[in-house]
Amino acid sequence: MEWRVPLADVAFGSEEEEAVLSVMRSGWLTMGRVTAEFESAFAEFLSVPHAKAVSSCTAALHLACLALELGPGDEVIVPSLTFVATANAVRYTGATPVFADITGFGNFNLSPDSIREAITDKTKAIIVMHYAGYSCDMPAIMQMAAEHDLFVIEDAAHAVGGCLQGNMLGTWGDFGCYSFFSNKNLVTGEGGMLVTSDDELAEKVHRLRSHGMTSLTWDRHRGHAWSYDVVDLGYNYRLDELRSAIGLVQLQKLYEVNQKRRKLVELYRVQLAEKAPDLILPFQDHPGVSGAHLMPVLLPQGADRQSVMEKMKFDGVQTSIHYPPIHQFSSFQDLVCPVPLSITEEVSARELTLPLFPHMREEQVELVVSALAEAVGVKI
Ligand SMILES: *Cc1c(COP(=O)(O)O)cnc(C)c1O
C-alpha cells in the first residue's frame, strides 16, 4: 500500500548512482580497491585503527564472536529487547546467550545491575545494543567487564555516528558491529562493518571473512600473491565493490542525515508532550549524541497496541514494534533465563515505533502525532 508516512525511507541521489555505475564500468565487482577505501574512510570517521567491511551486521556479530573464540560452555550476556541477530550470533558459535533486563521505561538499554546479576563463572562476553542509537551506560559496562575479565561487543546497528563522552558508539568495546541494511542510517542495501582497535583480532577477522584464506582474489589479481593457504574455518562474509561505492557516498552524507534525524526527534518530543501527554518518551535528556535511528514511544498501560496500529494505518501512517523479546521466540524456548526480564516484557508489550527518516517533512511529523493522539483516545 501507499503510506502517507512510511516507517522508513531511503533517498539516494545521483552521487550513489554515479558511484555504482563507475564500479560497473571498472569491470571489478568483488571486494577490492573501493571496499578498501570504504574501510579506511569508515575507520577514520570513527578514529579506530581497523574497519572490516562485511556482508551484514549479522556477519559482523558472528565474526566478532568467532574471533573472541566463544564456543560451547561459554555464556554471553545479551539483551532480549533487540533484533534476533544479536543473540543468534552467539548461538552460531555454540555458546549460550544469557538475557539481561533493560534499565527502565525511560531507558531501553541493558541495565548494568541486571548484567551483574547474570554474570557466572562461565560468562565470557557481553553484547550491548545501543537501542534507537542512544548509548548504553558504557563507562559502567566497561568497568564491570574489566573487573570480571569479559569481552564487550557493541551491536551498533542503530548507532552509527552516535557518541558518548567523545568516543564514538561501537568503539568502546573489543568490537563494534554496524549494519547498512536498507532501513538503517547508512544504507548499502545489505552490508555491514566490524571495527576493532586490536591488531590481532583485526587480522583474525580479515581471514575469517574470506574462507580462512591467507590471500584474496584481489591480491592475486594485483600480482601480490600466487597461491594461498587455508588456516581457519572461514566464511564468505565479504562486501562487494558496488555496495562499498554506495557506502562511501552515504558515509559522506551521514552527519547531515543524522542531524536531520535528531531534529525530527526533537520536533516529535515537543509535539508528543503537548498532544499525547499520556505517552512515555524514552531517552529524554539521554547523555551523549544519539544515532537517532528510531522514534520509540511507550503507550499508556492497558492501551490496545494492535488497534492503535490499525487506526494509524487507516490514516496512512506505518508503525512498527521494536522488539518482540527474543526470549519469547519459539526457537529460544530451550534456553534458561536465570535473570528476571520483567521490564523487557512490559516495554515490548507497550512499545510503538513511529516513522523516522531524514527527508521526513514537518507536516508528516504533525500528521503522525495527530493520528497517534487520536488513536490512543486523546481529545484534540
Ligand atoms: C538491523 C539489525 C541487525 C542486523 O543487521 P543486518 O545487517 O541486517 O544483518 C542486528 N542488530 C540490530 C539491533 C539491528 O537493528
Q: Which residues pair with 380 in a beta bridge?
A: none
Whether residue 344 has its Cβ less than 6 Å from ligand 1? no
Instruction: Give rounded-to-5 percent helix, strand, coil for the chain.
Output: 40, 20, 40
Residue 84: pLDDT over 80: yes
Q: Which ligand 1 atom is nearest residue 190's CA?
A: 7
Please tell me the predicted confidence (pLDDT) of residue 379: 44
**Closest Cα to atom 15 of ligand 1:** 157
Is 332 near ligand 1, meaning CB less than 6 Å away?
no
Which residues face 178 on adjacent strands?
A: 193
**Whose CA is closest to atom 2 on ligand 1?**
157
The finding on whether 82 has its CB within 6 A of some atom of ligand 1 is yes
Segments making up each domain of the chain, as ranges: 14-251, 255-377
Candidates 1, 11, 42; CA nearest to 360 is: 11
Cell digits of residue 204:
583474525
**CA 304 to ligand 1 centroid distance, Å:** 28
User: Rounded CA gap, 332 and 83, in Å?
Assistant: 13
Its CATH architecture, for the domain 14-251, is 3-Layer(aba) Sandwich (3.40)
Contact 171, 195 (CB under 8 A): yes
Q: Is any ligand 1 atom within 6 A of the Cβ of residue 157?
A: yes
Is 122 part of the annotated catalytic residue set?
Answer: no
Distance 57 CA to ligand 1 centre (A): 5
Measured in Å, residue 309 CA sits from the centre of ligand 1 at 23
Q: Could you tell me if 290 and 132 are in contact, meaning their C-beta atoms sit under 8 angstroms apart?
A: yes
Maximum C-alpha span of the chain: 73
Could you tell me which residues are beta bridge partners of residue 107?
A: 104
> DSSP secondary-structure letter at 181?
B
Task: Return the CATH fold of 255-377.
Answer: Aspartate Aminotransferase, domain 1 (3.90.1150)
Ligand 1 within 6 A of CB of 86: yes
Cα–ligand 1 centroid distance for 177 (angstroms): 9
Q: What is the 3-state secondary structure (H, E, C) of 75-105?
A: EEEEECCCCCHHHHHHHHCCCEEEEECEEEC
Q: Catalytic: which of 52, 184, 253, 311?
A: 184
- Which residues face 75 on adjacent strands? 96, 123
Residue 283: pLDDT over 70 = yes
181 lines ligand 1 (CB under 6 A): yes
Q: Which band of pLDDT confidence, cut at 50, 70 and 90, is reported for residue 377?
A: confident
Q: Is the pLDDT of residue 275 over 80?
A: yes
Examine the pLDDT at 218 and tell me if it is beyond 90.
no
- Residue 378 banded pLDDT, cuts 50, 70, 90: low
User: Judging by beta carbons within 10 Å of its beta carbon (0-12, 13-18, 19+), is residue 183 exposed, middle or buried?
Assistant: middle
Is it the case that residue 102 has pLDDT exceeding 60?
yes
Distance 53 CA to ligand 1 centre (A): 15
Q: Is the CB of 129 under 6 A from ligand 1?
A: yes
Residue 341 CA: distances (Å) to CA of 17, 39, 118, 235, 303: 46, 38, 11, 34, 21
Per-residue pLDDT tens over the stretch 304-342: 999 999 999 999 999 999 999 999 999 999 999 999 999
C-alpha cell at 143: 568497568
Q: Does the predicted TM-score (pTM) go above 0.85? A: yes
193/159 Cα distance (integer angstroms): 12
Ligand 1 nearest-atom number relative to CA 58: 9
Strands (E) in the chain, as ranges, are: 50-54, 75-79, 96-100, 102-104, 107-110, 123-129, 151-155, 163-164, 167-168, 175-179, 192-196, 295-298, 351-354
CB 200 within 8 A of CB 175: no
Query: Taking the alpha carbons of 358, 359, 363, 369 in that order, is the dihedral positive or negative?
Result: negative
Q: Above pLDDT 70, what percent of the chain?
A: 99
- Which range is least confidently modeled, 53-57, 246-250, 362-366, 376-380? 376-380
Cis before 131 (ω within 30): no
Cβ atoms within 10 Å of 88's Cβ, excluding its own: 18
Answer whether 239 contacts ligand 1 (Cβ < 6 A). no
58 ligand 1 Cβ < 6 A: yes
Q: Do domains 14-251 and 255-377 have the same CATH topology?
A: no
Separation of alpha carbons 102 and 277, rounded Å:
23
Mutating to test ligand 1, I would choose from 7, 52, 62, 83 the residue with most ligand atoms within 8 A of its C-beta, which is 83
251: Cβ contacts below 8 Å, ≥ 6 apart: 38, 41, 42, 45, 186
